[in-house]
Structure 1
Amino acid sequence: MVEENDFTGFPRRFIQLVVRERIFLAILTVGFLVSGLAYPYPDIAMWVGFVFAGYAVIANDSIQTIGTFIASNKQRPWWVLWLFIGGILIGTLGYSWYVNGGDVSYGRLSSKGFADAPQTFAFLQVAGPLFLLILTRMRIPVSTTFLILSSFATSAKGITAVLTKSVSGYVIAFVVAIILWLALGRLIDRKFRGEPRMIWYPAQWAATAFLWCMWLTQDAANVAVFLPRELAFTEFLAVAGALFLGLAVLFNIGGDKIQEIVEEKAVVVDVRHATMIDCTYALILLVFKIQSNIPMSTTWVFLGLLAGRELAINLTRAKDERRSMRDVGKLIAKDLLFVSIGLVVSIVIAAGVNPQIADAVLSW
């Protein structure tokens, strides 16, 4: 007798997959229509763009902030993880709103080219986050900073400054990861065996909280760019509430398809390794936060960290446990290729919005 799961169940799963993608395409279609109707009206367009960006940015960047958290806590109810992360989000944004006179971006939008709230919107600015959703669905890690903020830059100099800081972030994270995991790789491999001790679970939650705060101080600008730079209390409640509910959707579906980018890396499901990744990444973001207010792509920093870690782990393992260097190189190259695709899409959108940027791109 043939089991249903072998043959009969396959068509049903395939149909469910197609239906889900149809629903996604239908949502996208509605989103583009709403963008087209809303962009001539700034008071409406800013909130439509914010809602689209709020979910799209967190969904794509979830791999670098809560990706390891989701991967290493799959045994826990999703709503517990959501309330924890959502509570930190409200507290972190609320602190910035309170101490910075209504600004939730921690001053990241005070740099040249982004200081003034947009008075008018182009269609591509409002619809830009929808392109980010498409890339996220394709499991492509994108610099949300480039894709969202570049369309609001008033000059090519602003984009160049963000790009320079982001690429330097990739290189620094790559080098730091190689040094750290080469120095500790064999010790980690020897100590992190068997079931983790209970102390590691609160340690990982604390590390995730620290990382989530650091990420918000950098990337809240990517959604706040649509909004007035000084939010009234009711506006802040609307912003925090929308992002809180967006997180609920993300945790309910387990991090969306882009979560696979985290889970294909070596031993990220282990809570001990996840804690190390989160702490290292958060400290790097803290340094960049102190260094300047220029926005940067945290995605590039995270991929640099994962790339250096993957290479170092492979070099410190026993020969029979190693991947081939060719496979590791392919993994690193694939992430770089995808994030570069996102960069190209971002520049195209920015050039489509701002003729000055288009001229600068053509001169390059």
Structure 2
Amino acid sequence: MASPKPKPITASKLAKLTYKLFSISKKERNYLYLLLILTFICGVFYPYPNIAMWIAFGLAGYSAIANDSIQTIGTFISSNSHRKWYHLWLFMGLIFLATVTYSWVQYSGDVSYQRLNTPGLDIAPGTFTFLQVAAPIILLILTRLKMPVSTSILLLSAFSTKASSIADILQKSFIGYILAFVLAIVIWGLTARIFEKYVKKKPAKFWMPLQWVTSGTLWAVWIMQDAANIAVVLPRSLDVIQFISFALFIFLGLGLLFYLKGDKIQDLVNEKADITDVRAATIVDLVYACLLYYLKVVNTIPISTTWVFIGLLGGRELAISYMKKNLDARRKGILKSLRLIRKDALYAAIGLLISLILALSINEDMRKQVIDMIMGWF
């Protein structure tokens, strides 16, 4: 007797299964179980490089975009919360595919826009330790705690063969923070009162398409900078199958992120003044995109886009508060802004400290170089 044919998976069944998977991460208990399962998987497969590479990539890909989503699509999600999540996903997802495809074609299989050509990062890892594969899980936990972490430092430092490359990333990132902070004070110091005058009025129709253009541009420029964080575990030149796997996974991961509306770290954007207004979101995205593009063309050293972003938001908050006409409101606004700046900087500093501790714990080459450097001081 012939065995019955398996029933085909219909679109409705696939949608229900996807919904159940998405719902898992909405419940803290299930989220903890999920992290434990992922940790177990890392422990089982890290000795097998070909498998460990893709596990590390999958974890790094989703964790990096989930944490850094506040920078690029955070304002976009906030100001378009009334729209269908899958409309936003398809828009940003297609931009992602176009951006990484261009790099893959232009740079002979490299999807990082040559960010991984930096000495110390130019060779793909041939073997993995447990902590290297599991490091992105730490990033997932910090993201759940609403901490804006430098994914560049955390993920790249785990695989860098030279301590000097991480020092270069840190230096460029701190310069980016100061530049963004000062530039934000200047721009919003000049425009805050003008914006306050018109913010109560309904936005003109042209603001919405303008915001989508600026948000899409920002997203593309961010990918040019931070694709290195995701691809650091992969070969420096991907073949066709590897590239399709890379692009498809991130594309689907974006869908999950939009379904979750940015997840809990989105609160870091929502708490900022008037950021849900389409006009404010557009200006923030435009200034940030210009900054990232400038920092991209300066040199090919990767940068912590997180530090640039919190510098931009911090300077903006301070300028808006300072420009209030009412003295009492100005004083209260400045104090609130300073608290937000301190909190964001503290969270980012904690993330940086954890990243460096992990790097020294995971990366033997970096640990030896740091010890030699310290011994040289004495």
> TM-score, with normalisation over the residues of structure 1?
0.93
- 2:338 is matched with 329
- 2:202 is matched with 195
- 2:193 is matched with 186
Alignment of 1:84-99 (within 5 A): 84-99=91-106
Return closer, same or farther for 1:227/1:124 CA change in 2, 3 Å cut-off: same
Cα deviation, 1:263-306, whole Å, max 9, x if unaligned, reads 00000000000000000000000000100000110000000000
**Equivalent of 1:30, from 17, 34, 37?**
37
Equivalents in 2 of 1:35, 1:222: separation in Å? 19
- 1:268 is matched with 275
Q: What displacement does 1:354 show?
A: 2.1
Q: What displacement does 1:81 show?
A: 0.2
| Residue 348 (structure 1) aligned with residue 357 (structure 2) | yes
- 1:282 is matched with 289
Moved beyond 3 Å, runs of 4+: 16-19, 320-324, 359-362
Does structure 1 conserve the Cα–Cα contact (< 8 Å) formed by 2:288 and 2:309? yes
Return closer, same or farther for 1:336/1:19 CA change in 2, 3 Å cut-off: closer
- 1:212 is matched with 219
Q: What displacement does 1:321 show?
A: 4.7
- 1:292 is matched with 299
- 1:303 is matched with 310
Q: Which amino acid aligns with 2:363?
A: N
Q: What displacement does 1:148 show?
A: 0.4
Unaligned runs of 5+ in 1: 1-15
Q: What displacement does 1:356 show?
A: 3.9
Q: What displacement does 1:121 show?
A: 0.9
Equivalents in 2 of 1:271, 1:19: separation in Å? 27
Three-state SS of the structure 2 residue aligned to 1:220 is: helix
Equivalents in 1 of 2:199, 2:26: separation in Å? 42
Return closer, same or farther for 1:238/1:165 CA change in 2, 3 Å cut-off: same
Three-state SS of the structure 1 residue aligned to 2:184 is: helix
Three-state SS of the structure 1 residue aligned to 2:27 is: helix
Q: Which amino acid aligns with 2:274?
A: V
Three-state SS of the structure 2 residue aligned to 1:324 is: helix
**Equivalent of 1:49, from 44, 56, 67?**
56
Q: How many residues are aligned here?
A: 349
- 1:108 is matched with 115
Three-state SS of the structure 2 residue aligned to 1:187 is: helix
Three-state SS of the structure 2 residue aligned to 1:171 is: helix
Identity of aligned residues (%): 48
Q: What displacement does 1:360 show?
A: 4.9
Equivalents in 2 of 1:60, 1:172: separation in Å? 22
Q: What displacement does 1:37 show?
A: 1.3
Equivalents in 2 of 1:302, 1:168: separation in Å? 12
Equivalents in 2 of 1:315, 1:17: separation in Å? 43
Cα deviation, 1:139-198, whole Å, max 9, x if unaligned, reads 000000011001111121111000000000000000000011111111122233311111
Equivalents in 1 of 2:103, 2:242: separation in Å? 14
Equivalents in 2 of 1:360, 1:262: separation in Å? 38
Does structure 1 conserve the Cα–Cα contact (< 8 Å) formed by 2:169 and 2:302? yes
Q: What displacement does 1:253 show?
A: 0.9
Equivalents in 2 of 1:19, 1:158: separation in Å? 37
Q: What displacement does 1:359 show?
A: 4.5
Return closer, same or farther for 1:53/1:71 CA change in 2, 3 Å cut-off: same
Equivalents in 1 of 2:84, 2:329: separation in Å? 33
Cα deviation, 1:48-69, whole Å, max 9, x if unaligned, reads 0000011100100000000000
Unaligned runs of 5+ in 2: 1-22
- 1:11 is matched with none
- 1:65 is matched with 72
Equivalents in 2 of 1:226, 1:106: separation in Å? 15
- 2:249 is matched with 242
Three-state SS of the structure 1 residue aligned to 2:297 is: helix
Alignment of 1:87-166 (within 5 A): 87-166=94-173
Return closer, same or farther for 1:86/1:17 CA change in 2, 3 Å cut-off: closer
> TM-score, with normalisation over the residues of structure 2?
0.90
Equivalents in 2 of 1:191, 1:356: separation in Å? 56
Does structure 1 conserve the Cα–Cα contact (< 8 Å) formed by 2:43 and 2:130? yes
Equivalents in 1 of 2:221, 2:181: separation in Å? 19
Q: Which amino acid aligns with 2:30?
A: I
Q: Which amino acid aligns with 1:261?
A: L
